Amino acid sequence: MALFQIAEPGQAQAPHQRRLAVGIDLGTTNSLVASVMSGSAKVLVNEQDEASIPSVVHYQEDGTVLVGSAAQAKAVADPYNTIASAKRLMGKGADDLSDTLFADRYLFDTDSGSLPAFKTQAGNKTAVDVSSAILQSLKNTAELSLGGELVGAVITVPAYFDDAQRQATKDAATVAGLHVLRLLNEPTAAALAYGLDAKEDACVAIFDLGGGTFDISLLKMQRGLFEVMATAGDTALGGDDFDHALAATLAEQAGITDLSDASQQRNLLNIARGIKEQLSDQTSCGFDIPLADGGSYKGTIDRDQFNALIEPLFKRSLKSCRQALRDANIEKSDVDAVVMVGGSTRVPLVRDRVSEFFGRTVLTDINPDEVVAVGAALQADVLAGNKPDSELLLLDVIPLSLGLETMGGLAEKVIPRNTTIPIARAQEFTTYKDGQTALALHVVQGERELVSDCRSLARFELRDIPPRVAGAVRIQVIFQVDADGLLTVSAIEKESGVVASVDVKPSYGLSDSEIEQMLTASMEHASDDMLARALQEQKVEADRVVEAINSALASDGDEHLDSDERTVIDQAIGDLQTARAGDSTDAIKSAIAKVEKVSNAYVERRMNATVRKMMAGKQLADVESDTSDT
C-alpha cells in the first residue's frame, strides 16, 4: 500500500493544550508504548520499570488477568492458561489453528461462532481478548507515566496485515477503551523514527527480525509518497527459533534425553533465551541447568558456537531479502538505508551479515526493540494535533478500485485506486424493473470491467423500496473508507429513506504481489475488457427492451394490435432473444433496432391512447377545481 503526505490544516494546538497521545508496538513477542515528551519520543516504563512487556496474558481461576512478565512467569507451571503469540491469530478463523505453534500448545474452542477461542480456566478467550488485555496494560502504563487521560493511540501492524487482522486490532483497542488515531504499518513507523521520510527519492529497507517472525519491507519515498515497493518474509523465523536450536544443544550437552514435559521444555527454552541475549554483548556465557535427579549441569558456550547454530536459520532471511528485491525490481545497491528492527537484530552475526549483504552499515542507533513504538509515537503526536500546521501527515491510498456490480455483471467503480484515504464517495443508482422493491448490492474490488474478474468483498440488500416504474427510484450508495482502509458501504432510497449498510471485513486480504497481479491483468486485458463491457451493456439493453415490450403487450397488446401485427412483433422479440444468447454485440444491437422498428406503430397507438386518457383526466380536474372556487 502506498502512503503519501498532506498537510492537515487547523490542527495546531497551543503548547499548554498538549494532548496526550501514544504510539503502541503491539508485537507478537513483546509490546511497548512510547510518547513524545519535550520534543522527542521516549518509551514509557511501567511500575516494574520495564520498557517492554512480554505479549503474554495469564488467566486465573478467579478471573484475575495477569499481563506481561507476571503472566510469563506462569508459562512454565500453567501453560494452558497462559497465552502467548496471540497476534498470530488476530483476524483468523478456525482453519488457521493448523499453525503448529497453536495446535499443540493450547486447548481450543471453535464452536462459539467463527472465532477460535483459547480455552482457559477463566472462560474462552479470543485473540482479540488477549490483545485487548495487553493494550489495557500499556494504556495504564502510559496514563500513570504521563499523568492524564490519553486522547488516543497509533497502533502498529505488520504491512501484510489484511482488513480482518486490522479490524481485529481496532476491536481489541476498543475493548481496552483506547481510541485508535490510526493503524500504522510497522516498517513505515521504523522509517519515520529515523526521519527517513524527509529524504526525497530514498529507498529504504526495513529488516525486522522479532521473536517468531521475519519481515523485510522495501519502502520508497517519492514526491511526498511513501510507498511499499515490496514485502517478503517468513512467518516461522525469529528469535524463538534461535532459542530452540540452542536449547537442543544445551539438552544434548547436559545429557537430557526426555523432552516430552512441557514445563521442562519451557524452562530449557528460557535458559537458552537468556544465554542468547547475553551473547549479543559478550563473547561467551556460562550456564546452569537443573537436572531431574536434583543436581545441575554447568557449562559454557561461546559466541562462535552460537553463531554456527543459527547460521542456517539466519540464511533464510536473506532468501526473503532477495525475493523482495526481485519483486521491487531493484538492486541491493539501490537501497539507501537499511533499518534494523526487532530484538533479534541485536545478535551481532545478524547485523554483520545484513550489512555485508546490502553493502552498507545497517542503522542501529535507535534501539531495535523500540524503533517501531518510537515512530508510532511521532505519528501519534502529529495526529493528536500537537504539531504546528507545517508538519506533514502520512496518509494511505487505496491500492485497488472499489465499486459495485451493476446489471449484466459489470463493475462500476465508485472510488478509483490511488485515492487518498479517508474518503467518502456517493453515487446514484436506480431500479431496473417496474415495481422493484429490493436491490441486491455487490461490493467489488479491482480494475477489471467484469465483476467475474474482480474480487468480491461483500453482498447486501436494500429492501422496502417503494414500488415505482423502472428508473424512477433514486438510490444513493455511499462508500466510506476510514483512515485504516476499512470500508463501509451504505445505500439509501431517497424518497422513503430506507437504508442498508455493510462493513467490509474480508477474511483474507491481498498481498502486494496479488495486487500487482490484478493491476497487470487489468492492463493486459484492457481492450478485451472494453469489448466484454460493450457486449454486456448490449445484453442488458436487450433485456430491458424485451421486458418493456412484453409488459406492454401483456397489458394492452390485444387492444391495439391485430394478429398479423402481433406475429411480426413476437418474431422480432424471438430474434432478439436468440441474438442476446450469442456473443455478437452488433447482432444484438441490430435485433434491438428491429424490435423497435416493428413495434413503432404499436408504441404510437399506445401513446395516443395515454394522451387521450390524460386529457380526459385533466378536463375533469379543471372542472372540479372551477366548481370548488365558487
What track of x and - describes contact with Mg ion for positions 20 through 39 (by CB under 5 A)?
A: -------x------------
CB of 186 to Mg ion, least distance (A): 6
Could you give the maximum distance between any two Cα atoms of the chain, in Å? 118
By CB under 6 A, tell whether 215 contacts ligand ADP.
no
CB of 344 to ligand ADP, least distance (A): 4
By CB under 6 A, tell whether 557 contacts ligand ADP.
no
By CB under 6 A, tell whether 280 contacts ligand ADP.
yes
Residue closer to ligand ADP by CB (options 187, 342) is 342
What track of x and - describes contact with Mg ion for positions 178 through 217 (by CB under 5 A)?
A: --------------------------------x-------
**Do the beta carbons of residue 230 and residue 331 sit within 8 Å?**
no
> Contacts from 102-105 at CB under 8 Å and sequence distance 24+?
105/79
Q: Which of 87, 92, 413, 505 is catalytic?
A: 87
By CB under 6 A, tell whether 277 contacts ligand ADP.
yes
Of 74, 105, 273, 594, the one binding ligand ADP by CB under 6 A: 273
Residue closer to ligand ADP by CB (options 127, 454) is 127
CB of 488 to Mg ion, least distance (A): 30
Which of 320, 128, 137, 126 has its CA nearest to residue 213? 320
Q: Which of 129, 163, 197, 208 is catalytic?
A: 208
By CB under 6 A, tell whether 239 contacts ligand ADP.
yes
564 catalytic, yes or no?
no
By CB under 6 A, tell whether 54 contacts ligand ADP.
no
Alpha-carbon span 371 to 378, nearest angstrom: 11
CB of 518 to ligand ADP, least distance (A): 30
CB of 29 to ligand ADP, least distance (A): 3
Q: Which stretch binds ligand ADP (CB under 6 A): 341-349, 453-461, 537-545, 575-583?
A: 341-349
208 catalytic, yes or no?
yes
Which of 374, 393, 391 has its CA nearest to residue 190? 374
Of 369, 447, 449, 529, the one binding ligand ADP by CB under 6 A: 369
User: How many residues line the site for Mg ion (CB under 5 A)?
Assistant: 2
By CB under 6 A, tell whether 234 contacts ligand ADP.
no
- Burial group, residue 55, by CB count within 10 angstroms (0-12, 13-18, 19+): buried
Residue closer to ligand ADP by CB (options 267, 280) is 280
Phi, psi of 377 (to 5 degrees): -65, -40
By CB under 5 A, tell whether 238 contacts Mg ion.
no
- Neighbouring CB atoms inside 10 A of 567's CB total 11
Which of 147, 183, 167 has its CA nearest to residue 24? 183
494 catalytic, yes or no?
no
CB of 496 to Mg ion, least distance (A): 51
Of 21, 30, 181, 414, the one binding ligand ADP by CB under 6 A: 30
* Angle between the N-to-C axes of helices 186-193 and 371-383, in degrees from 0 to 180, rounded to the nearest 10: 90
Residue 28 CA, chain-centre distance (Å), reads: 18
Of 88, 139, 276, 417, the one binding ligand ADP by CB under 6 A: 276
**Binding site partner of 30, from Mg ion, ligand ADP, none, Cβ cut-off 5-8 A by kind:** ligand ADP
- Alpha carbon distance, N-terminus to C-terminus of the chain: 74
- Residue 127: helix, strand or coil by DSSP? helix
CB of 26 to ligand ADP, least distance (A): 8
- Neighbouring CB atoms inside 10 A of 77's CB total 12
By CB under 6 A, tell whether 347 contacts ligand ADP.
yes
Pairing of strands 152-157, 180-185: parallel
Q: Who contacts 549 (Cβ-Cβ below 8 Å, separation ≥6)?
A: 569, 573, 595, 599
What track of x and - describes contact with ligand ADP for positions 488 through 527 (by CB under 6 A)?
A: ----------------------------------------
Alpha-carbon span 106 to 125, nearest angstrom: 11
**Binding site partner of 277, from ligand ADP, Mg ion, none, Cβ cut-off 5-8 A by kind:** ligand ADP
Per-residue CA distances from 71 to 142, 157, 202 (Å):
19, 23, 42
CB of 270 to ligand ADP, least distance (A): 10
Alpha-carbon span 474 to 430, nearest angstrom: 5
Provide the CB-side half-sphere exposure for 405 (13 A, CA): 21
CB of 31 to ligand ADP, least distance (A): 7
By CB under 6 A, tell whether 343 contacts ligand ADP.
yes
Angle at CA of residue 54, ends 49 and 55, nearest 5°: 130
By CB under 6 A, tell whether 217 contacts ligand ADP.
no
119 catalytic, yes or no?
no
Q: Which of 186, 215, 396, 405 is catalytic?
A: 186
Q: Who contacts 60 (Cβ-Cβ below 8 Å, separation ≥6)?
A: 66, 81, 121, 122
Of 23, 91, 187, 342, the one binding ligand ADP by CB under 6 A: 342
Q: Who contacts 242 (Cβ-Cβ below 8 Å, separation ≥6)?
A: 272, 276, 309, 310, 313, 344, 347
Residue closer to Mg ion by CB (options 343, 506) is 343
- Residue 33: helix, strand or coil by DSSP? strand
**Binding site partner of 408, from Mg ion, ligand ADP, none, Cβ cut-off 5-8 A by kind:** none
Residue closer to Mg ion by CB (options 27, 239) is 27
Alpha-carbon span 511 to 159, nearest angstrom: 9
Residues in the site for ligand ADP, rule: CB under 6 A?
Answer: 27-30, 210-213, 238-240, 273, 276-277, 280, 342-344, 346-347, 369
Residues annotated as part of the active site: 25, 87, 186, 208
Residues in the site for Mg ion, rule: CB under 5 A?
Answer: 27, 210
